[in-house]
Protein backbone atom coordinates (compact mmCIF):
# COMPACT_ATOMS: atom_id res chain seq x y z
CA UNK A 1 0.00 0.00 0.00
CA UNK A 2 1.30 3.45 -0.93
CA UNK A 3 2.29 5.73 1.94
CA UNK A 4 -0.10 8.70 1.85
CA UNK A 5 -0.62 12.02 3.58
CA UNK A 6 -3.86 13.98 3.72
CA UNK A 7 -3.92 17.77 4.03
CA UNK A 8 -7.29 19.04 5.25
CA UNK A 9 -7.28 22.73 4.36
CA UNK A 10 -9.25 25.34 6.35
CA UNK A 11 -12.31 23.28 7.23
CA UNK A 12 -12.96 25.94 9.85
CA UNK A 13 -16.08 27.53 11.28
CA UNK A 14 -15.38 30.88 9.62
CA UNK A 15 -15.36 29.24 6.17
CA UNK A 16 -17.79 26.32 6.47
CA UNK A 17 -20.41 27.42 9.02
CA UNK A 18 -23.13 29.81 7.75
CA UNK A 19 -22.37 32.08 10.73
CA UNK A 20 -18.69 32.28 9.74
CA UNK A 21 -16.98 35.54 8.84
CA UNK A 22 -15.91 34.29 5.40
CA UNK A 23 -18.53 31.62 4.72
CA UNK A 24 -17.87 29.81 1.44
CA UNK A 25 -21.54 28.95 0.93
CA UNK A 26 -23.48 25.76 0.51
CA UNK A 27 -20.77 24.26 -1.68
CA UNK A 28 -18.53 24.20 1.41
CA UNK A 29 -21.23 22.50 3.47
CA UNK A 30 -21.76 19.97 0.67
CA UNK A 31 -18.18 18.64 0.85
CA UNK A 32 -18.31 17.76 4.56
CA UNK A 33 -19.41 14.12 4.03
CA UNK A 34 -16.66 13.50 1.44
CA UNK A 35 -13.98 15.11 3.61
CA UNK A 36 -15.16 13.11 6.63
CA UNK A 37 -15.13 9.85 4.63
CA UNK A 38 -11.61 10.50 3.31
CA UNK A 39 -10.37 11.39 6.81
CA UNK A 40 -11.91 8.19 8.20
CA UNK A 41 -10.30 6.13 5.42
CA UNK A 42 -6.87 7.67 6.10
CA UNK A 43 -7.28 7.09 9.84
CA UNK A 44 -8.32 3.46 9.35
CA UNK A 45 -5.36 2.85 7.03
CA UNK A 46 -2.87 4.54 9.37
CA UNK A 47 -1.85 7.34 7.01
CA UNK A 48 -0.75 10.82 8.05
CA UNK A 49 -3.48 13.45 8.46
CA UNK A 50 -2.55 17.13 8.72
CA UNK A 51 -5.22 19.65 9.67
CA UNK A 52 -4.14 22.93 8.10
CA UNK A 53 -5.78 25.95 9.71
CA UNK A 54 -5.67 29.65 9.11
CA UNK A 55 -4.55 31.14 12.43
CA UNK A 56 -4.37 34.89 11.98
CA UNK A 57 -3.47 37.65 14.42
CA UNK A 58 -6.23 40.19 14.92
CA UNK A 59 -4.21 42.75 12.90
CA UNK A 60 -3.17 40.42 10.06
CA UNK A 61 -2.40 42.30 6.79
CA UNK A 62 -4.60 39.78 4.93
CA UNK A 63 -7.58 41.60 6.44
CA UNK A 64 -6.96 44.41 3.94
CA UNK A 65 -8.14 41.95 1.27
CA UNK A 66 -10.66 39.88 3.22
CA UNK A 67 -12.78 40.51 6.30
CA UNK A 68 -11.19 39.40 9.58
CA UNK A 69 -11.48 35.61 9.82
CA UNK A 70 -9.94 32.58 11.52
CA UNK A 71 -8.28 34.64 14.22
CA UNK A 72 -6.15 32.37 16.42
CA UNK A 73 -8.04 31.21 19.49
CA UNK A 74 -11.52 32.18 18.28
CA UNK A 75 -14.55 30.06 17.38
CA UNK A 76 -14.06 30.98 13.71
CA UNK A 77 -10.56 29.51 13.68
CA UNK A 78 -11.62 26.08 14.97
CA UNK A 79 -12.20 22.98 12.83
CA UNK A 80 -15.91 22.37 12.24
CA UNK A 81 -17.47 19.92 14.71
CA UNK A 82 -18.77 17.67 11.90
CA UNK A 83 -15.26 16.38 11.20
CA UNK A 84 -13.60 13.66 13.25
CA UNK A 85 -10.46 14.71 15.08
CA UNK A 86 -8.06 11.76 14.79
CA UNK A 87 -5.87 11.43 17.90
CA UNK A 88 -2.64 11.43 15.92
CA UNK A 89 -3.55 14.16 13.40
CA UNK A 90 -1.02 16.96 13.17
CA UNK A 91 -2.08 20.59 13.15
CA UNK A 92 -0.34 23.17 11.00
CA UNK A 93 -1.31 26.79 11.62
CA UNK A 94 -0.75 29.13 8.70
CA UNK A 95 -1.11 32.85 8.11
CA UNK A 96 -0.94 32.87 4.32
CA UNK A 97 -2.61 30.98 1.48
CA UNK A 98 -0.09 28.18 1.08
CA UNK A 99 0.24 25.67 3.92
CA UNK A 100 4.02 25.84 3.39
CA UNK A 101 4.56 29.57 3.95
CA UNK A 102 6.05 30.14 7.41
CA UNK A 103 5.16 26.65 8.70
CA UNK A 104 6.95 23.38 9.38
CA UNK A 105 4.88 21.43 6.83
CA UNK A 106 7.87 20.83 4.55
CA UNK A 107 9.86 19.17 7.34
CA UNK A 108 6.85 17.11 8.41
CA UNK A 109 6.35 15.76 4.90
CA UNK A 110 10.07 15.08 4.43
CA UNK A 111 10.09 12.96 7.61
CA UNK A 112 6.93 11.08 6.66
CA UNK A 113 7.96 10.68 2.98
CA UNK A 114 4.53 10.07 1.42
CA UNK A 115 4.23 8.65 -2.06
CA UNK A 116 0.99 10.64 -2.50
CA UNK A 117 -0.40 13.74 -0.87
CA UNK A 118 -4.17 14.20 -0.96
CA UNK A 119 -5.58 17.71 -0.55
CA UNK A 120 -9.16 18.49 0.52
CA UNK A 121 -10.96 21.55 1.90
CA UNK A 122 -11.54 25.21 1.07
CA UNK A 123 -11.06 27.42 -0.88
CA UNK A 124 -10.21 25.65 -4.11
CA UNK A 125 -8.93 28.78 -5.88
CA UNK A 126 -6.93 30.16 -2.96
CA UNK A 127 -5.47 28.01 -0.18
CA UNK A 128 -6.05 24.65 -1.85
CA UNK A 129 -4.54 25.68 -5.19
CA UNK A 130 -1.58 27.52 -3.63
CA UNK A 131 -0.78 24.54 -1.42
CA UNK A 132 -1.08 22.12 -4.35
CA UNK A 133 1.29 24.32 -6.37
CA UNK A 134 3.83 24.24 -3.56
CA UNK A 135 3.46 20.46 -3.22
CA UNK A 136 4.12 20.01 -6.94
CA UNK A 137 7.11 22.40 -6.73
CA UNK A 138 8.48 19.87 -4.23
CA UNK A 139 7.72 16.97 -6.62
CA UNK A 140 4.99 15.29 -4.57
CA UNK A 141 2.35 13.27 -6.39
CA UNK A 142 -0.86 15.13 -5.55
CA UNK A 143 -4.45 13.89 -5.54
CA UNK A 144 -7.33 16.40 -5.35
CA UNK A 145 -10.73 14.69 -4.94
CA UNK A 146 -13.11 17.16 -6.62
CA UNK A 147 -16.02 16.16 -4.36
CA UNK A 148 -13.95 17.25 -1.33
CA UNK A 149 -12.97 20.81 -2.31
CA UNK A 150 -15.12 23.95 -2.55
CA UNK A 151 -14.91 27.66 -3.28
CA UNK A 152 -16.89 30.88 -2.92
CA UNK A 153 -17.09 31.22 -6.68
CA UNK A 154 -18.08 28.32 -9.00
CA UNK A 155 -16.08 29.77 -11.91
CA UNK A 156 -12.93 30.14 -9.80
CA UNK A 157 -13.48 26.61 -8.47
CA UNK A 158 -13.65 25.17 -11.99
CA UNK A 159 -10.62 27.19 -13.11
CA UNK A 160 -8.59 26.09 -10.07
CA UNK A 161 -9.37 22.42 -10.69
CA UNK A 162 -8.27 22.77 -14.33
CA UNK A 163 -5.13 24.68 -13.39
CA UNK A 164 -4.12 22.16 -10.73
CA UNK A 165 -4.57 19.34 -13.22
CA UNK A 166 -3.19 20.91 -16.40
CA UNK A 167 -0.46 23.18 -15.05
CA UNK A 168 0.61 21.51 -11.80
CA UNK A 169 -0.02 17.93 -12.91
CA UNK A 170 -2.16 17.05 -9.90
CA UNK A 171 -4.59 14.16 -10.31
CA UNK A 172 -8.06 15.70 -9.98
CA UNK A 173 -10.58 12.95 -9.42
Which pLDDT tens digit goes with each residue over 57-66? 999 999 999 9
Right CATH number for 4-172 from 3.40.50.850, 3.30.420.40, 3.40.50.720, 3.50.30.40?
Answer: 3.40.50.850
pLDDT bin (cut points 50, 70, 90) of residue 97 is very high
Handedness of CA 129, 135, 136, 141 (dihedral sign): negative
pTM over 0.95: yes
Q: What b/e readout covers 129-152, taking b as 16+ CB neighbours within 10 angstroms? A: bbbbbbbbeeebbbbbbbebbbbb
Amino acid sequence: MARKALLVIDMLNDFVDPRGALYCGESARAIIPAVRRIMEDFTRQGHLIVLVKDAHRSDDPEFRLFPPHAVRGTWGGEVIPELPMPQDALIVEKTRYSAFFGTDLEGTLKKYAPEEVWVVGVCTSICVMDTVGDLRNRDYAVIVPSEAVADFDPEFHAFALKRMERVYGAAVR
